[in-house]
Structures are given as C-alpha cells and as structure tokens.
Amino acid sequence: PNATAHTETCANIGNVLWNWRMLQITADAKYADIVELTLYNSVLSGIDLEGEKFCYNNPLNVSDNLPFEQRWGNEREGYIKLSNCCAPNVTRTIAEVANYA
C-alpha cells in the first residue's frame, strides 16, 4: 500500500479542514493531533522548498521496480495537467497555518 496509496494533496487538506472544524465543535484534542500530523506529513510534502513545484499524489514509497505503471509521476511538477487545485490549495493552506494555533 505504500507505493499505491492514493494520498492526494487536496484530500489531505480536506482532512485538515474537517478535523479543524471538529476540534472547534468538540474541543477534543484528538482532532488537533490529526491536523498536526496531516500538515507535517501530507500537506508540506505537496510543495517543493522553492514553492514552485507541486505533487498531486504523495506516494509513501517510490519504487521503479513495480510490476505496473503508476498513474502519477514520482516527482513534483510546476504544472499538473489533470488538476489545477493543488498549487493554490497547498499555498493557501500553508499561509493559513497560523490560524490553526
């Protein structure tokens, strides 16, 4: 599953938003833990250090030795043909991190 999981950047951002709202409703710290884990382990990996290239899918393991071709590439791209939401979604989410404190 590490090489084939569909860990879409925008889906992980949706996970952050949903858990943030659940934290606001319930004040249960488990939702804050999920927000933190997702921001550090999923959202930040969706953008390169220069802020110019983005990942649609964030594989947990990259391997060239799979017996099949993966749907998405293994590297970040400046422009993602099939998805125009990654770049603005990641940028907006990172810019709003201070609001989650």
* The pLDDT of residue 33: 97
* The pLDDT of residue 10: 85
* The pLDDT of residue 85: 75
Mean pLDDT of successive 10-residue stretches along the chain, which has 101 residues = 72 93 97 94 84 75 68 65 73 90 78
Give the tokens for residue 63.
């391997």
27: left (phi over 0), alpha (psi -120 to 50) or beta: left
The domain ranges of the chain are: 9-100
* CA-based nearest residue to 10, from 63, 57, 80, 62: 57
* The pLDDT of residue 4: 66
* The pLDDT of residue 55: 76
